[in-house]
Amino acid sequence: MRRTTVRILKELQALASWQATGTRAFTLKQHQHAPHSQLTNTTTHSRGRLYTTQRRNQSSCSCLSATTFAAPKTTVKYQPLLGQTCRAFTTSGIRRQERGDGSKDKDTASDSPKSTRSGSTSSVRLTSDLPTRVRMVLDTPGVFPKDLAPDTGKEPSREIRQSFGTTYGGNYKLQWEEGPRTVLIIKKPNDELTDKAVVEVASWIHTKYPHMNVVVEPDVAQEFWKQLPFVYTIPENEQSEYARVTDLAVTLGGDGTILHTSSLFQSAVPPVISFSMGTLGFLLPFHINNYQAALEKLIETQQASLLLRMRLKCTLHGADGRRLQAKDGSGHINDLTVMNEVNLHRGRYPHLTWIGCYVDGHLITEAVADGLIVASPTGSTAYSLSAGGSIVHPSIQSLLLTPICPRSLSFRPVLLPPNATIQLKIGEKSRGPAEVSMDGKETFFLDKNEFLQVCMSAFPMPCVNRVHAGEDWIKDINDLLKWNQGFLNKQSMSHYMSD
């Protein structure tokens, strides 16, 4: 293939030279493995002149054939044989891959249909045909003293919201007005175990609760359309459909799958039940082996115990304070909601970055460091913890500001109230732009005097947990993080670790 590509480039150079003079005709060499009996002549017009090239018959055993140049377009096009793969080149590079039978190669197109399915299969189902989510009531289960119990309103709503000071360390009780109608299943990508699990779980829900609608992401629907012909998916570029129709979200994977689920809902998130199939499982109270019992309890009782995990709302601003515009000119970058943390760091640049830290418009310090992390309570046990930040209980509303390798040894992590607005501004002394990462992705670049603004989001991540959810968190920090575990600690915590 490499030799063929070199030959093509040489022929392109010869063509360019021929075009410049306008007088030099040129003929391609025959493929070295092609017998002369398998070649036929083809006459082509170019600039009012005739030149002849040779083309391989369809009976040839090789993929490559002699090539016809259309001089005005400077295009090289191979005539492939039936059932074999080759490429079409232009002077600007590879255009696309095609097969000799006219279909696209597997690298560029799936064998599953885009809009309809022929034969015995049905049309692709879109969530635009589904009703909106069921209304629900959020209440406290009576664990608060009366003078401290948050006022949830107890009015039916299709959204779960969170305001300042509405958790106080307790769980919430969710009651659907009627049984959940639509369930969204999110799986870990490129994983054989979750591939099998998504087919099993979706098929079980469809069989046991045929009145329920099962929604998956478009790539999953395309990959498993034969095994799961009954599933729905969102229309193209209509991510808001997830929030409109989903009554319950099911995640199959690890903590990263939950973070991905959070990114699908920039506004209100439905209740999320997570089954452990990943590498860590810090946010996963249920194991995949118990999925039937856990889902039966939710669907049939129409109730759930929830822990509202606070999320962060992030915006990007230019030096003049206005919202940054998208590079494609489609408008300003929308509000971005993250579950773990937003990270402003120096990226690939070797120099420390200068970041001005403002809280509610007041400068508190100028950080000279590799970067800064603004973490939620849930994110306090992620990147922030590795950078020396504190562990914060997920029900405590707060913003955690943690430096990454600061130049000053006295720069310690700071815990801020949930109603604070944090601004991280790139200083004039910075030698290069800073990168913005959100939950390990969503990377942007900020130049000097541009800033990132972070505050508490009104839309938490409502995670389904077990009745005694306080034990989940204690078990996680001891069993997974090995928090302060000496020999005596392991003995005293054995009743948690053995569950």
Q: Which residues pair with 337 in a beta bridge?
A: 313
**What sign results for the dihedral spanned by CA atoms 427, 429, 430, 432?**
positive
Residue 348: closest CA among 271, 434, 274, 284: 434
CA 185 – CA 257 distance, rounded (Å): 11
CA 94 – CA 5 distance, rounded (Å): 11
Confirm whether 255 is a catalytic residue: yes
Catalytic residue among 247, 255, 439, 476: 255
The values of phi and psi at residue 313, to 5°, are -105, 130
Look at residue 293 and give its three-state secondary structure: helix
Q: Which residues pair with 414 in a beta bridge?
A: 401
Look at residue 288 and give its three-state secondary structure: helix
303-309 vs 232-233, strand pairing mode? unpaired
**What sign results for the dihedral spanned by CA atoms 112, 113, 114, 115?**
negative
Angle at CA of residue 206, ends 203 and 210, nearest 5°: 160
CA 343 – CA 435 distance, rounded (Å): 8
Catalytic positions are: 255
